[in-house]
Structures are given as C-alpha cells and as structure tokens.
Chains A and B, each alone.
Chain A
Amino acid sequence: MRHLRVEPWLLVLPVVVLLLIGFVLPVGTVLLSSVTTTGGGWTLENFSRFFESSFHLGAAWRSIRLAVIQTIVVLVISLPLAYVMTRVSARVQAFMMIAIVLPLMTSVVVRSFGWVILLGPAGPLADIPGFLQLSRTNQGLLGTELGINIAMVQVLIPFAVLSILGVLNGVDRRLEEASRTMGASFARTFGNVILPLSVPGLIAGGTLVFAMSISSFITPNLIGGAQIPVVASIIYTDATTNLNWPFAAAQSVLMLIVVLATIGITSKLAARNR
C-alpha cells in the first residue's frame, strides 16, 4: 500500500518539476517585478500607467475584441468541419487530419508572410476592383483588423478542430440515427443532438483559441503593422526594445487575469452543461 501512495507522485514528478522551473518560477518573477520598484519597494505605478494611457486601453480593447471575434468565427467553422470528419471513411479522415495539422508544422512567421502577400497589393486579390481600397493606404487588407482576423482564424482553426473532434468521436452515432428515424430533419438533429453534445469540445477549443489569440503578436504585427497595436505586441516591444520589464510584466499580469477569468467562466459553463 505504501508504494501505491508514492508511485503516482513519481509519475507526475517530471511534469511538476517542469512546471515549477518553466512556469511557476518565471510567472512568479513576472508577478513580482510588476509590483516592485528598482529600489525594492512596492508600487502600483506600472498598472496605473496602463490604465491612464488611452493608447494602452485602446490596444487592450482591440485585443479582447479581436480575440472574441476570432474565437466565434473559428468555432463556427470548426464545428461543421469536425462533424464531417467523424462521418467520413477512416482514410478520408486521416487525409483531412493531415491537411489540418500540416500548417502547424510550418512557422507562424512563414504562414503570416504568406498572408501578407495574399492580402496585399502584390497578391491575386489586388485585381478585384475596390479590394486595395479596403485600407486607407491602398494596401488591400493589410493594416486592417479584418486582415488580422482572417490570418489568425487560419492559424487557430486546427486547435479548435482537434478539440471538438476529440469530443465528437466519442458521441454514439445511434443517437443521431434515432433522431433522424423519429422524423427530425438534419438541421434539427444537428441543432438538438450534435450541438449540445459537442459543447465540451467547443468550450475546450474556444478557451484554447481565445488564450492563443489574445497572446499572439507575430501575425498582428505582420498584417496590422504599427498602426493596429495589440497588447501582446506592445508587451513584446516593451520587453525587447524599451527594456522596460516591469511595465511589460504588469501588462502580462493584466493579460493573464483576462485569460484566467475566461477560463473560469468557461469551466463554470462546462460544469453546468454536464
């Protein structure tokens, strides 16, 4: 019996050590540096600077807005896609899986550069009348929030599809058949049977996508440029160029709070759904 109490701990030990070194320590340091002065005292100055600056508040609002829009769009696209994947032959499903996961194998920088070309004046869309005028600088969708959203949705879809697929694969197909034999239309079956059953996957995928979206800065930087600032890219600049780590830390803490709050709300939702 004694062994049984120790061995589970041994099994999780690598993860615990990794989390301690790779997450708890650095995040703790960040938390601390955001509220301490160089002299060693306590301060909330880094936070008040954020809330007093219309530039930073504007960027925060944009970050949240973009993350919400992207999460909704990603889920709306991913649910039908994942559903179709559970209803095709194993070979087709494997093929679709590869097609969805393959983009993850390339760097996000490369993918975003691809979007820069596609959405910009040198891309094929530039021939469509009026396309270039979508941005004030005649740059098509570059330098616009819509452009960022399109590129980010493509980056994020795999994560949502995989989350939803995991749940839908476990759904008994006879439930659907029962619904159809009782006379329900496909649309009604989808709405009343498939959708409710996929909620855990939607919540897990949605949370993941939201957290990744709000913390991404490479794609927003490349597509949006300096004129469409998001909090994550401001943090990156403050930490790497301005070397103002305490301020960058304070902004990271605020972002962490938003993400944790989102996870809190969604896990409540998930619990109620159960």
Chain B
Amino acid sequence: MKKFAKSLAIIAAAGLTLTACSAQADSGDSGDAKGAPTELVVTSFGGDWEAAYIEAVVEPFEEEYNAEITLVTLYSADAMAQLTAQKANPQLDVVHFSGGQEVAAAADGLIESIDPADLSNLDDLYPIAAEGVERGEGPVMQVTPIGLVYRTDKIEKAPTSWDDINNPDYAQHVALTDLSNTYGLLTLLAVNQHEGGDLDDIQPGLDSLGALVDSGAAFVIKTSADMQQAFSARDVWIAPYAQDYAETLRKADLPVEFALPSEGAPASFITANVVAGRDNADLATQLVDFSLRPEVQAKFAESMYYSPVNTKAELSDETGSRVVHGEDFGKLVRYDSAVVNEKRQSWTDAWNSRIAQ
C-alpha cells in the first residue's frame, strides 16, 4: 500500500511539473520583442478551406504586414462558444462565422464594430456583403449560393426554377437534404418563399417538399458525404445544394453543373469578424480588409468556387461561368439569422415528423 501511495505521489508530482512547464511556455509567448512580427490568432474551418485561405490570405498578408498568423480550426458554433467563454480575456483576433453567429456576437459585444473608413474595399463590395458592417457585424467574406446541382448527362436543359425539382421527368432522381444540415434548411426556406411563405410561416415549403417526398419522387439524405454518394451511386440527377459542392462532385468525375433559380436563392454567408477587447484590433481589421481585396476574392472563387463578394474581382471564363457573380449576385437572399436560429428547432421538429416514414 505504501508503495502504491508513493507511486501515486510521483505521478501527481510529474503532472504538476508538466502543467507548470506549459504555463511557463504560455507566459513566455506573450511577451513580444520589438520588431518581431505581430501575432494574430484566426479561426479556420480546416481542410480544403484552410489550404485555400493560407494561400490566398495568410502567406501574402504575413509578408506585407510583418505579421504572424496562427490558425485555429474552430467551426462557427464552437468559435461562438469560445468567444462567449473568453469574453473577459479573449484569445482570438479574427473569427469566421458561417452560420449567422455574427448577429448574436455583435449583440453581445463579442466582436468589434468596424469603422467603415477602415475597410478600403468596403465600397467595392456587393451591398448584401457590406451592409452588416453598419450593424456592427463583420463583412461577408465568402458566399456559396444554394441552387440546383444537376447531372448534365441526364438533364440537357439547365434548370431555371425551384419548380424544376417537381418535374415529373426527374421523379425518383431527386435528392433533398435533411434539416440537420444548413443547406437543407436554406433549401426549405427558399422553396417556402417561392411557394408564398415567409419566416413566420414555413407551411407552404413543408407542404411542397413533403409532397415530393411522400410521392417517392425524392429521398432525403443527411450529410455532404451522402450527397456525393447520391450522385455517384444512387442515380440522382438533381438536388438543391451549394455552388461550391458542385465542384467537389466534378473533382470526383461526376458531370454536374450548378444552376441559380431565377426566382432568387439563399446562400451560405461566411463573415470575417474582429474580436472585441484584443490588443491588435487594427491589424485584425487590416486582415479582414485584405481578405476582401479583388485578387484575394478571385482566388477564393478559382480555388473553392465561392462567389466573390468584391465587384472588381476578375474571374477566368471557366470560373465565371460556374460561380454566381455580377448581376446574378443581386438574386441572393440573406435571411435574418436571429430569426432562423430562434425557429430552427421548431422547423426541424415539423420537418422530421413530415418526412419520417
């Protein structure tokens, strides 16, 4: 027993030493020597997104501004949770949100209200990308519209309307996305709006998609991976989904294109936000501004097939034909994320009951 107690003590002591060491390392980092690059901690969505962001933003920005950017992979909800938890002592400089969290973050004072004068590219942005700045939110940095992804070898004439998923010729070749997925949620809202509903009444959308599912013309998948499977192994010809995902499918050798419904379409908006209460807010603002530059926006479009938010971004012919930009950009709709987040649970419940067999 004595021996056991002794070894416990040793383990405990080792543990203490370790924590002490790491605490020391932490405090060592925060003291900057003069002339050394200024550090910014920036959230990333990981994977391909991160690779493209490093190439388009991190590397050129570090060189131009003598900065050192540390990327932290944090999805929107997790980033929001961290910001809230660290309110007194924030550890992040720039936070990217894809789920509309910037509205709540601005209301809670977690992100800095950026002076429009500090964003040199703001005037060149499409209005829908710039307008959030006035409300104290960060500007929209990337946009992926939700429209109709379709097989070009099965559907000759590009779809033009949300009604096209109801085309009897495509019956049993339509895939819808579950509401647990944001793209599925946006699809429901888009169809709902097209059928005459609004955020206070989603019944028209539920009825339309519900009827499609009931008739067996469409089935419902859950995740992005399932969507690739649906196109490759489940004989799906058309599905409401994201513009950038069409490129993911093309990379998997599937003959698909993305079409924007003429009635207008929702989109997933990624915002870049400066965290409140940090020492390097000015540099962080410059990073946000940098990411809005036309050439950076063009890179996002070329590598990730996001729609550029800067009207001056110049795209190659191939990319230009595949990403929504210019006049079409005006057809994109941004829903009030405060309302969406508040009602999402009840919509999900209604949807689940509607489609479950």
Q: Quick one: CB contact mask for A120-139 with B, threshold 8 Å, 1 for yes?
A: 11110000000000011111
Which B187-232 residues have a C-beta within 8 angstroms of A?
213, 216-222, 226, 229, 232
CA distance A197 to B114 in the complex (A): 76
Least CB separation from A3: chain B residue: B1
Which residue of B4, B221, B229 is within 8 Å of A226 (Cβ)?
Answer: B221
Q: Are B233 and A227 in contact (CB under 8 A)?
A: no
Question: Which residues of B have CB within 8 Å of A117?
Answer: 233
Which residue of B77, B213, B216, B226 is within 8 Å of A243 (Cβ)?
Answer: B77
Question: Which residues of A have CB within 8 Å of B345?
Answer: 242, 244
Q: Does A143 interact with chain B (Cβ within 8 Å)?
A: yes
Chain A interface size range: 20 to 34
Question: Which residues of A have CB within 8 Å of B77?
Answer: 243
Q: Are A10 and B4 in contact (CB under 8 A)?
A: yes
Q: Does A95 interact with chain B (Cβ within 8 Å)?
A: no
Q: Are B222 and A58 in contact (CB under 8 A)?
A: no
Least CB separation from B213: chain A residue: A227
Q: Does A146 interact with chain B (Cβ within 8 Å)?
A: no
Q: Are B235 and A227 in contact (CB under 8 A)?
A: no
Q: Quick one: CB contact mask for A192-228 with B, threshold 8 Å, 1 for yes?
A: 0000000000000000000000000000011001111
CA distance A55 to B352 in the complex (A): 7
CA distance A10 to B235 in the complex (A): 59
CA distance A120 to B175 in the complex (A): 14
Question: Which residues of A have CB within 8 Å of B317?
Answer: none
Q: Are A226 and B355 in contact (CB under 8 A)?
A: yes
Residue count of chain B within 8 Å CB distance of chain A: 30
Q: Are A137 and B356 in contact (CB under 8 A)?
A: no
CA distance A221 to B226 in the complex (A): 9
Q: Are B353 and A120 in contact (CB under 8 A)?
A: no
Question: Which residues of A have CB within 8 Å of B180?
Answer: 226, 237, 241-242
Q: Does A53 interact with chain B (Cβ within 8 Å)?
A: yes
Q: Does A23 interact with chain B (Cβ within 8 Å)?
A: no
Q: Are A116 and B229 in contact (CB under 8 A)?
A: yes
Q: How far is the CB of B342 from chain A (nearest CB, A)?
A: 13
Q: Does B102 interact with chain A (Cβ within 8 Å)?
A: no
CA distance A58 to B355 in the complex (A): 12
Which residue of A10, A113, A244 is within 8 Å of B229 (Cβ)?
Answer: A113
Q: Does B120 interact with chain A (Cβ within 8 Å)?
A: no
Q: Are B222 and A138 in contact (CB under 8 A)?
A: no
Q: How far is the CB of A8 from chain B (nearest CB, A)?
A: 13
Q: Quick one: CB contact mask for A134-176 with B, threshold 8 Å, 1 for yes?
A: 0111110011000000000000000000000000000000000
Q: Does A6 interact with chain B (Cβ within 8 Å)?
A: yes
Q: Does B152 interact with chain A (Cβ within 8 Å)?
A: no
Q: How far is the CB of A14 from chain B (nearest CB, A)?
A: 12
CA distance A114 to B158 in the complex (A): 32
Q: Does A229 interact with chain B (Cβ within 8 Å)?
A: yes
CA distance A143 to B217 in the complex (A): 13
Q: Does B172 interact with chain A (Cβ within 8 Å)?
A: yes
Known: A137-B217, A225-B219. A120 touches B234 (CB 8 A): yes
Known: A122-B233, A122-B235. A242 touches B355 (CB 8 A): no
Q: Does A54 interact with chain B (Cβ within 8 Å)?
A: yes
Which residue of A59, A116, A137 is within 8 Å of B219 (Cβ)?
Answer: A137
CA distance A54 to B357 in the complex (A): 12
Besides A142-B234, A143-B219, 11 more A-B contacts (Cβ < 8 Å) are A6-B1, A53-B353, A55-B356, A116-B233, A121-B233, A121-B235, A137-B172, A222-B226, A227-B219, A242-B180, A244-B345
Q: What are 18 contact pairs spanning A and B, CB under 8 A?
A: A120-B233, A120-B235, A122-B233, A122-B235, A138-B235, A225-B220, A225-B226, A226-B220, A227-B213, A227-B220, A227-B357, A228-B356, A229-B356, A242-B180, A242-B344, A242-B345, A242-B348, A244-B345
**Chain A interfacial positions (CB closer than 8 Å to B):** 6, 10, 53-55, 58-59, 113, 116-117, 120-123, 135-139, 142-143, 221-222, 225-229, 237, 241-244
**Chain B interfacial positions (CB closer than 8 Å to A):** 1, 4, 77, 172, 178, 180-181, 213, 216-222, 226, 229, 232-235, 344-345, 348-349, 352-353, 355-357
